[in-house]
Amino acid sequence: MLATFVLSSNVPDENTIFNAVFFIVLISTILQGTTLEWVAGRLGLLAATPPATEAPIELGTRSNLALVHFTVSPDHAIAGSAVRELGLPRSAIVAVVERGDVSIPPRGSTVIEPGDRLFVLAPRERHADVEDVFARWRRRV
């Protein structure tokens, strides 16, 4: 796109300028695109990739429910809270709590610990409400 500006104006040697700009932009894009991750790693700017989360339960394809997960950090507002205190919408439940390699069927008295992964089951149309609750859970204490 940048190189086409020269072609639309009456500049001497417009083809040469077009080719030069095109070549410079192409080489610059290739160099930056292929080295960006390496440079970011050398500068310590890469964030750790979270491990892939495999849900401990499955839903059928025709289900109107969605299973979303939330990983609890030590500084999240819900660390140390009981499941009954989480403030989920009435249409959502904590289906499973994964603690390490163990899946726990939660009760209202189950205390949430840092590192736990909560799998919340809610209707698909209430997904935005569940995400709002997750945002409150992420507040630092």
pLDDT tens digit sequence for 19-47 = 888 889 899 999 999 999 889 889 988 87
Q: Count of residues for the chain?
A: 141
What domains are there in the chain, each with its CATH number? Answer: 4-42 (no CATH), 65-137 (3.30.70.1450)
Q: For the range 124-130, what are the long-range contacts, defined as Cβ-Cβ under 8 Å and sequence gap of 24 or more?
A: 124/64, 124/65, 124/66, 125/64, 126/89, 126/91, 126/92, 127/66, 127/68, 129/89, 129/92, 130/68, 130/88, 130/89, 130/92
Q: What is the reported pLDDT for 61? A: 79
Ramachandran bin of 106, using left for φ above 0, alpha for ψ from -120 to 50, beta for the remaining angles: beta
pLDDT averages per 10-residue partition of the chain, 141 residues: 76 85 90 91 80 72 87 92 92 92 91 94 91 88 61
Q: What is the reported pLDDT for 101? A: 87
Residue indicated by tokens 């507040």: 139
Q: Average model confidence (pLDDT) for the chain? A: 87
Q: What is the reported pLDDT for 44? A: 86
Q: What is the reported pLDDT for 116? A: 93
Q: What is the reported pLDDT for 95? A: 92
